[in-house]
A and B are shown apart, each in its own frame.
Chain A
Amino acid sequence: MNEVRKPPVATTGIIGWLRINLFFNWTNSLITLFVIYCLYQFIPWILDWTIFSADFKYNYLGEQITNQEMCSRNLDPENGGACWAVIYVRFYQFIYGFYPKVEVWRVNIAYAMLALALLPLLYAKLPYRKYFLYFTYIFPVIAYFLLNGGLGFTEVSTNKWGGLLVTLVLGCTGIALAFPIGIMLALGRRSKLPVISMMCTLFIEFIRGVPLITLLFFGMVMLPLFLPEGIDMDGLVRVLVAVTLFQSAYMAEVIRGGLQAIPPGQYEAAKSLGMSYWRMNLLIILPQAIRISIPPIVNTSIGLFKDTTLVIIVGILDLLGIGRGTLADTNWLGLSYEIYFFVSLVFFIFTFGMSRYSLYLEKKLKTGINMGAD
């Protein structure tokens, strides 16, 4: 028998990995050393600023911070890093806006229910998924009464909402409403009826050709002129109309992409079984088309979630709006880096989570079904 020889040390294990990935040739080694040097300069500094020298609740004298003058770095410029106390003090506003404190349990329940409602959508193997899905369908109604009032709850007008609450309401409602509208628009654009197809195409291309901010202005400035007297639309609702119109055009294009990927045999087979247009689409075409367009649907949803920040331009206080409002307060002047860092981090957690989820789905779909093979 031949003796099994081990591969040379230099090509396997940690040393091999280092040689191949970091020190392959001399230019590569030089780049690696340069990057390591830069990181060595940068990482201790950023860690020091964000964590080790930072104030979280108390300054270096041990006093509880209530305004920017008490931050360590403002007391002693040589000493101290970030002043996170501003987030600590204003945390309630960042999460709930100006929602009355006695009613805030309603928002907390709505947040918890949102997580529960998303669960069956995100995780297909959930036991008793069917019953969870029923809850997801009625969740918007429950959330409306919980947050807005009615049915025995005292009313909390939407101008008291703010922060993460507004960001999530805009993001979730926009995505949820845009989905069915987007499907209708996509079907309409592919319809054989020329008038309907033309109208849907015009609508989609118009919305996609203008910036969201002009649609928000449209909702804020022009919508009240279009409606008869007496119908006074809430500011948040007007913004929601604009956001939904915007998102549904993008959603329609994504779903149209999915529809185009369905082989014509599927249509022919459905028709030969005597199915009507709606039956064919609902039972045969759309389930397949939506399944393949889930990753791009998640991607446009990430885009919308980021774009909800634009509402601050028309005066709605979302997470970023609360951040800017805090900066305008003389108590917290000059803490822009802390506040923008925190707001970025919250957005990053949501959007990065969504993009990871989309990657996971892509992988699952690739291994799970074999689309277009036959």
Chain B
Amino acid sequence: MRSNLGFFSDEKFRSIFFQTLVVGLFALGLFFVISTTSYNLEKRNIATGWSFLQNPAGFDISFSPFLEFKSTDTHLKVYFVGVLNTLLVSITGCIAATILGFILGIVRLSSNWLLSRLVYIYVEFSRNVPLLLQIILWYSILIQLPRVKQSLQVLDVFYISNRGLYSPRPIFESGFSYVLIAIVLALISSFLINRWAKKRQDKTGQQFPVFSSSIGLIFIIPLILFFILGSPLSFEHPELKGFNFKGGLVIRPEFIAMFLALSIYTAAFISEIVRAGIMSVSKGQREASAAIGLKQTWIMRLIIIPQALRVIVPPLTSQYLNLTKNSSLGIAVGYADLVHGFGGISLNQTGQAIECMAIVMATYLSISLTISFFMNIYNRSIQFKEK
């Protein structure tokens, strides 16, 4: 018996005691931090509050593909441009990294020794070199490309130079909206056909050519409509005027460097995840499906991949989260994302460090939570279903 502490050895009392102690210490610390901070802010003449968001920014943003940005626009708009740029590089990066990662993961398992060794070397190099270094390296390669006047021409419509990639800009004329509506309708109906076909196959065993009918609905019908309406789409070609191109669509080297580095770096991790996932499916599954006479491509599509996905998806989610967070490294090459535009330049101009950082952190937190939310839904949909 160790009851010389009396009521202190009572578990319930101890639990409440420690929790109150922790909360008390936390509140004390918080009070201390808030009081010193407000004192410091007052001494440095930094106003608090959110009114600075409405002030004009006074600087230009070189890359803003979705919103027109002028230097007279507010800091709030800097924030929106930053969020859109962060999302742009994260989403395109995730898509490219997934495709590249799946291909590399499957190639890594190829029976060709040379090929799988080559992928192994790629994976080791790109995993073990810091991402920031890779971003800077890609950027330094891109800005050493020829100047605008000597820019490389690809297929007569794309121009590659140290100012980025110039391509024709599509101009949508009236009537193009019908094509878009047709595509959306086709997507919905092919989704419904897929569900109906699955139900019918479960009931009767008859199969329906879902893939080819969806291709027909999504591509061919809108294409026919497009020509019936008289091709309501034209292109504005970039033209060299003076020292730079005028018109057209420009993709800045900062974005290309970020996109390449993020997708190549993350693809290395994804390829290892895919490899582990495919290897986790037991050999008996492959042998059993071969024994019932399934074709090689069907074995992969119907037996191996669905089982491998259960292992692949959870770590894939954390790779997507990492890629999104790593997109904040754009500041090193001047990509105007959330951290560089709002958390960097706006913060330095207004001096509102606490407000700016709070907004930036809250935004990243909500992006992270959104990604995990959707990936969790997807994950639940592919797990074993008890029937």
Q: How far in angstroms is the closest Cβ of chain B from A340?
A: 5
**Contacting chain A: which of B70-78, B174-182, B244-252, B356-364?**
B356-364
Q: How far in angstroms is the closest Cβ of chain B from A257?
A: 12
Q: Does A21 lie within 8 Å of B353, measured CB to CB?
A: no
Q: How far in angstroms is the closest Cβ of chain B from A68?
A: 14
Interface flag for A217 (CB, 8 Å): yes
Q: In whole angstroms, how far apart are the Cα atoms of A98 and B270 in the complex?
A: 40
| Apart from the given pairs A22-B112, A227-B36, 4 other A-B contacts in the complex at a CB distance below 8 Å | A212-B325, A213-B331, A306-B130, A355-B127
Looking at chain B, what size class is its interface with the partner chain? 35 or more
Q: How far in angstroms is the closest Cβ of chain B from A217?
A: 6
Q: Contacts A28-B111, A209-B368, A214-B360: A348 and B18 contacting too (C-beta < 8 A)?
A: no
Q: What are the interface flags for A335-363 relative to B under an 8 Å C-beta threshold, 1 for contact and 0 otherwise?
A: 01100100110011001100100000000
Q: Contacts A210-B365, A218-B357: A309 and B132 contacting too (C-beta < 8 A)?
A: yes
**Contacting chain A: which of B113-121, B159-167, B256-264?**
B113-121
Instruction: Spell out A's residues near B (CB within 8 Å).
Output: 20-22, 24, 28, 31-32, 35-36, 192-196, 199, 206, 208-214, 217-218, 221-222, 224-229, 302, 306-307, 309-310, 312-313, 320, 324, 336-337, 340, 343-344, 347-348, 351-352, 355
Q: Does B36 lie within 8 Å of A228, measured CB to CB?
A: yes
Q: Does B137 lie within 8 Å of A340, measured CB to CB?
A: yes
Interface flag for B91 (CB, 8 Å): no
Q: B219-275: which have CB < 8 Å to A?
A: none
Q: In whole angstroms, how far apart are the Cα atoms of A309 and B52 in the complex?
A: 32
Q: How far in angstroms is the closest Cβ of chain B from A57?
A: 25
Interface flag for B150 (CB, 8 Å): no
- What B residues does A36 contact at CB under 8 A? 114
Q: In whole angstroms, how far apart are the Cα atoms of A28 and B360 in the complex?
A: 51
Q: In whole angstroms, how far apart are the Cα atoms of A25 and B92 in the complex?
A: 37
Q: B339-387: which have CB < 8 Å to A?
A: 339, 343, 347, 353-354, 357, 360-361, 364-365, 368-369
Q: How far in angstroms is the closest Cβ of chain B from A224?
A: 8
Instruction: Spell out B's residues near A (CB within 8 Å).
Output: 15, 18-19, 22-23, 26, 33, 36-37, 39-41, 43, 111-115, 118, 124-125, 127-133, 136-137, 140, 144, 325-326, 328-329, 331-332, 339, 343, 347, 353-354, 357, 360-361, 364-365, 368-369
**Most B CB atoms within 10 A — which of A196, A225, A320?**
A225
**Most B CB atoms within 10 A — which of A20, A208, A210, A306?**
A210
Q: Contacts A28-B112, A312-B332, A313-B332: A214 and B128 contacting too (C-beta < 8 A)?
A: no
Q: How far in angstroms is the closest Cβ of chain B from A196?
A: 6
Give which listed residue, A31, A193, A214, A340, contacts B339 with CB less than 8 A.
A214
- What B residues does A320 contact at CB under 8 A? 130, 132-133, 136
Interface SS of B by simple majority: helix
Q: In whole angstroms, how far apart are the Cα atoms of A340 and B140 in the complex?
A: 10
Q: In whole angstroms, how far apart are the Cα atoms of A20 and B113 in the complex?
A: 9
- With both beta carbons as reference points, the residue of chain B lying nearest to A352 in the complex is identified as B128
**Most A CB atoms within 10 A — which of B115, B127, B130, B339?**
B130
Q: How far in angstroms is the closest Cβ of chain A from B51?
A: 19
Q: Does A221 lie within 8 Å of B353, measured CB to CB?
A: yes
- What A residues does B111 contact at CB under 8 A? 20-21, 24, 28
Q: In whole angstroms, how far apart are the Cα atoms of A345 and B182 in the complex?
A: 53
**Most A CB atoms within 10 A — which of B133, B364, B365?**
B133
Q: How far in angstroms is the closest Cβ of chain A from B24?
A: 11
Q: Does A355 lie within 8 Å of B331, measured CB to CB?
A: no
- What A residues does B43 contact at CB under 8 A? 229
13 contacts between A and B (CB under 8 A): A21-B112, A32-B114, A35-B114, A210-B361, A213-B328, A214-B357, A225-B40, A313-B332, A320-B133, A340-B133, A344-B129, A347-B130, A352-B128
Q: Does B368 lie within 8 Å of A199, measured CB to CB?
A: no
**Most B CB atoms within 10 A — which of A206, A210, A211?**
A211
**Most B CB atoms within 10 A — which of A35, A199, A217?**
A217
Q: Does A306 lie within 8 Å of B131, measured CB to CB?
A: yes
- What B residues does A206 contact at CB under 8 A? 361, 365
Q: Does A214 lie within 8 Å of B19, measured CB to CB?
A: no
Q: Does A209 lie within 8 Å of B18, measured CB to CB?
A: no
Q: In whole angstroms, how far apart are the Cα atoms of A312 and B169 in the complex?
A: 37
- What A residues does B125 contact at CB under 8 A? 348
